[in-house]
Structure 1
Amino acid sequence: MDQPVTPRILPRQEHSISRNIIDPDALKVLYRLHHHGFIAYLVGGCVRDLLLGKRPKDFDVATDAHPRQVREIFRNSRLIGRRFRLAHVYFPGGKYIEVSTFRRHSEFEEEGEEAHPHSDNTFGTPAEDALRRDITINGIFYNIADFSLVDYVGGLEDLRDGIVRSIGDPNEKFIQDPVRMIRVIRHAARTGFRIEEKTYLSLITHVERLRLCSPARVRDEFLRELRDGSAKESIRLMVETGMLFVLFPSFLPPLEDEKRKGYFLNSMETLDQLHLLEEPVSEELHLALFLHPFLEFYCPLDEFPAGRKGQPDFHQKVREWLMGILGPFSFTRHSREAAAHLLAHQRSLRELGSHGRLPLRLIRRPDFAQALRLFQLAAKARGEEPSPFSWPREEKRFRRRKRRPRFRKKPRKPGGDNLAAGESSPGDPPL
């Protein structure tokens, strides 16, 4: 659809965003920019979440002040970024508010070689800044000057109707930056909105272009899919659109089995429940729970001898398989190795489940707690009761029996006087 040039302005009395629900530090940044004569808007996902009645994780600010001007206004700020400069305004506890200057191009859009990274021609107007964004519901601005909402892209209507729609021509947007397709999936999963038809068809058409993207960017976006608390719906949409098989081609054969597909989605639902309870989940546990439904398909247990004898070969097989899956996405070596250890321990826990008692050699391992947690979560995803395990709380301490000291008589000197000076013989009469 053609985007309106004149924005729709929604006054304070017609929307639900109050300053009481905005982060106090974000308000400080907005007010200081406004008092220095600059435009200051809350932008992006925080405005969307506030309108949906959710608590935003981050509050981002956009302004017409240039980065160096922002740096002069906020002495507690630091400029970051190479191509597009941003300011992080820091507050106690390591917290910061990100402040960006309105710009006309996305960070990853291709531009001419003559464009200088820090030149003024990268900056733009509020309308241009709205039009460069991914989807309409993320293009709504909150104006601190009069507490109104500013909408250049039709985001308010799509938010009301429950639609995820690309801003502008989706074909052009997805060709410029294919990673936007992952974000469309994530926002549809997080909000429960439906993807607009033209955007959906364009996504299916261009999904193969994700192979051309930076592996590090794809990795970061994919991890956000797992961490946002809507992993099950995200993965379901990825399977439906074919995106999952572009990222992980080897998943296609095992997911033809409906039972394994259901187990896979249940595993993601289990992960969502952990995030809902705000329980800490490490990156390696995210990866291990994501890959666990495919473990027995690619690393069958019956190919290895039972017990400790087959464990080293099984562990090596898991490492090689996991490297083939995660290697193209530039995951850190620590994350890959830690996830491989967690998956390899599942064989030991499964074999020992019939005994119900775990040996000390296993529970002494630093990753034992996470391996046991993965085992229990996987059982829950399969609809089974996890095996009850027990183990000794501490090692037995063996003490040697103390020997009683043996007293030896001093040897007598042959043919000499063995009495020390001043001593008397027991047979001598007293003096």
Structure 2
Amino acid sequence: MPTKAKIRLYERSEHCISRSQISDNALKVLYKLKKEGYDAYLVGGCVRDLLLGREPKDFDVATNADPDEVRKIFRNCRLIGRRFRLAHVHFGKEVIEVATFRGNGDVQDEKQMLNKEGRLLRDNVYGTIEEDVWRRDFTVNALYYNIKDYSVVDYVGGMEDHKAGTIRLIGDPETRFREDPVRMLRAVRFAVKLGFNMHPDCQAAIHANAPLLDSIPPARLYDEVLKLFMVGYAVQTFEMLRHYGLFQVLFPATERSLAVEQDGFPKLFLIKALQNSDNRITEGKTVTAYFLLSAFLWEPVQTLVRNLLSQGVPEFMAYQDAANEVVSRQLKLTAMPRFITTAMREVWSLQPKFNARVGSKPNRLLSHPRFRAAYDFLLLRAETGGADPELAEWWTKYQNANENEQRKMTQPGRNNQKKSGFKRNLRRSSQNRPKATES
């Protein structure tokens, strides 16, 4: 990997970054490091976002001070990490991450840092800023804001790519993706978030290397899934992940169900769920990971439920067994926490119970802790052809009715309910599209 680059210095008059846009705590860290005789730069996403006129979520600092030296300077500092040690300087709820410039080491050291697939296993080699730039992933994330003279230092043409709206890998894309396959997901995330286009070399390398994500620990992939889908760009992200063959690595059972869709189902259901999530984030409302993940895996669950029902398994057991099987398989890919999978199971298991509208059952369901999420899930199904709209309307009216009205609504004969209604709807919906088989 190259260790030298043609430097381009953008003076203060040539860029739009102002200290007034930078966190006061980040400035404290930068100035303190400078006062102690060290180099100090803002780097990464914060510089990229400042150049776009956006407010950065985090401010990251790069320096030639090693982690122990940073800890000596800041009493409110904690060191973290194994693969690469980082210093976290705490200011209440805000944390400024300080990273020492990474180096390349000698050839033997570099070979020892990679596994047989070429993935980077450890990176505790410190170096210079000229070496550090080659350890970063994309050119637009490798711009350094120097606190000494307020200039932006560019070693890899990041400023030009920034102006052109291009996501480009630093170095050979094949090699960089093999070092860390998660960079493929990051490429998609940045392209969608920033509204940038991927460089053709980057696109080709993703198509060729998507299966490498299988080597990433499931816990890390779960974290990446949250970053991809819980920030307000879920619909575009979903489409781009599918385009590059990455979604099928993360959610293979869901991708198989999409391969047999008919009349837009179940893709329409997923798109609606993603749109709702994006809308809530835009409106400043909270979103829950378990709801979106429930939507992702709903069709695989239903596929297994249909198979189990056809074998004579009782409905309750069919849903329980199907949920367990789908979740078990997905955990091997994205290690979801138990509280997430528990909530998902509850949302799924409550769906057939919405069909019970006589006697005390509706009131018991209304008092269930997960009722609201399950009801929203029912509305989503009704909007996209997966449930009877009349059923959703009934539950909307029921939960807003007073006690007397609720008693009248749940009297026998009031809603022409049949016990087999949910199973009938399930069979009817399956007739509208080819059956998928789980393998």
Paired residue type of 1:278:
G
Q: Give, in angstroms, the shift of residue 158 of structure 1.
A: 0.8
- Which ranges of structure 2 fall in alignment gaps of 5 or more residues? 115-121, 405-439
What is the alpha-carbon distance in structure 1 between the residues aligned to residue 252 and residue 366 of structure 2? 36
1:239 match: 242
Q: Give, in angstroms, the shift of residue 114 of structure 1.
A: 8.9
Residues 124 and 204 (structure 1), Cα distance of their counterparts in 2 relative to 1, 3 Å cut? same
Counterpart check, 1:104 vs 2:103: yes
2:9 match: 9
Counterpart check, 1:221 vs 2:224: yes
Paired residue type of 1:290:
F
Q: Give, in angstroms, the shift of residue 261 of structure 1.
A: 2.4
SS class of match (1:217): helix
Q: Is the 8 A contact 2:298 2:348 kept in 1?
A: yes
- Which ranges of structure 1 fall in alignment gaps of 5 or more residues? 396-431
Paired residue type of 2:398:
S
Aligned pairs for 1:12-31 (under 5 A) are 12-31=12-31
Paired residue type of 1:71:
R
What is the alpha-carbon distance in structure 2 between the residues aligned to residue 161 and residue 3 of structure 1? 25
What is the alpha-carbon distance in structure 1 between the residues aligned to residue 309 and residue 318 of structure 2? 10
Q: Give, in angstroms, the shift of residue 253 of structure 1.
A: 3.1
Q: Show CA shifts across 1:263-312 (max 9, x none).
A: 3233222212222223222332232233345543443499389xxx7334
SS class of match (1:329): coil
What is the alpha-carbon distance in structure 2 between the residues aligned to residue 273 and residue 112 of structure 1? 46
Aligned pairs for 1:71-86 (under 5 A) are 71-86=71-86
What is the alpha-carbon distance in structure 2 between the residues aligned to residue 272 and residue 382 of structure 1? 21
Counterpart check, 1:264 vs 2:264: no
- How many equivalent pairs are there? 384
2:337 match: 332
Q: Show CA shifts across 1:18-45 (max 9, x none).
A: 1111111111111111111111111111
1:253 match: 256
Counterpart check, 1:147 vs 2:129: no
2:45 match: 45
Counterpart check, 1:319 vs 2:318: no
SS class of match (2:205): helix
Cα RMSD, aligned residues only? 3.2
Residues 18 and 393 (structure 1), Cα distance of their counterparts in 2 relative to 1, 3 Å cut? farther
Q: Is the 8 A contact 1:3 1:168 kept in 2?
A: no
Residues 262 and 47 (structure 1), Cα distance of their counterparts in 2 relative to 1, 3 Å cut? same
Paired residue type of 1:208:
P
SS class of match (2:351): helix
Q: Show CA shifts across 1:304-324 (max 9, x none).
A: 89xxx7334323322322322
- How high is the sequence identity, in percent, across the aligned residues? 38
User: Which of 190-199 and 263-272 deviates more?
Assistant: 263-272
SS class of match (1:198): helix
2:137 match: 134
Q: Give, in angstroms, the shift of residue 358 of structure 1.
A: 7.1
Q: Is the 8 A contact 1:270 1:381 kept in 2?
A: no
Misfit runs of 4+, over 6 Å: 1-4, 381-385, 392-395
Residues 35 and 120 (structure 1), Cα distance of their counterparts in 2 relative to 1, 3 Å cut? farther
2:433 match: none
Using structure 2 for the length normalisation, give the TM-score: 0.79
What is the alpha-carbon distance in structure 1 between the residues aligned to residue 224 and residue 319 of structure 2? 31
Higher percent of residues as helix: 2
Using structure 1 for the length normalisation, give the TM-score: 0.80
Q: Is the 8 A contact 1:289 1:378 kept in 2?
A: no
What is the alpha-carbon distance in structure 2 between the residues aligned to residue 237 and residue 52 of structure 1? 22
Residues 298 and 190 (structure 1), Cα distance of their counterparts in 2 relative to 1, 3 Å cut? farther
Q: Is the 8 A contact 2:3 2:130 kept in 1?
A: no
Q: Show CA shifts across 1:152-178 (max 9, x none).
A: 111111111111111110011111211
Residues 113 and 194 (structure 1), Cα distance of their counterparts in 2 relative to 1, 3 Å cut? closer
Paired residue type of 1:362:
L
1:342 match: 347
Paired residue type of 1:360:
N
What is the alpha-carbon distance in structure 1 between the residues aligned to residue 329 and residue 301 of structure 2? 13
1:420 match: none
Structure with bigger gyration radius: 1
2:429 match: none
Q: Is the 8 A contact 1:358 1:389 kept in 2?
A: no
What is the alpha-carbon distance in structure 1 between the residues aligned to residue 185 and residue 240 of structure 2? 10
Residues 162 and 120 (structure 1), Cα distance of their counterparts in 2 relative to 1, 3 Å cut? closer
What is the alpha-carbon distance in structure 2 between the residues aligned to residue 188 and residue 382 of structure 1? 32
Paired residue type of 2:42:
L
2:281 match: 275
What is the alpha-carbon distance in structure 2 between the residues aligned to residue 14 and residue 325 of structure 1? 49
1:122 match: 125
Q: Is the 8 A contact 2:305 2:318 kept in 1?
A: no
Q: Is the 8 A contact 1:304 1:310 kept in 2?
A: no
SS class of match (1:98): strand
What is the alpha-carbon distance in structure 2 between the residues aligned to residue 348 and residue 210 of structure 1? 38
Residues 345 and 105 (structure 1), Cα distance of their counterparts in 2 relative to 1, 3 Å cut? farther
Q: Show CA shifts across 1:77-118 (max 9, x none).
A: 1111123221111112x3211111110259xxx945499xxx
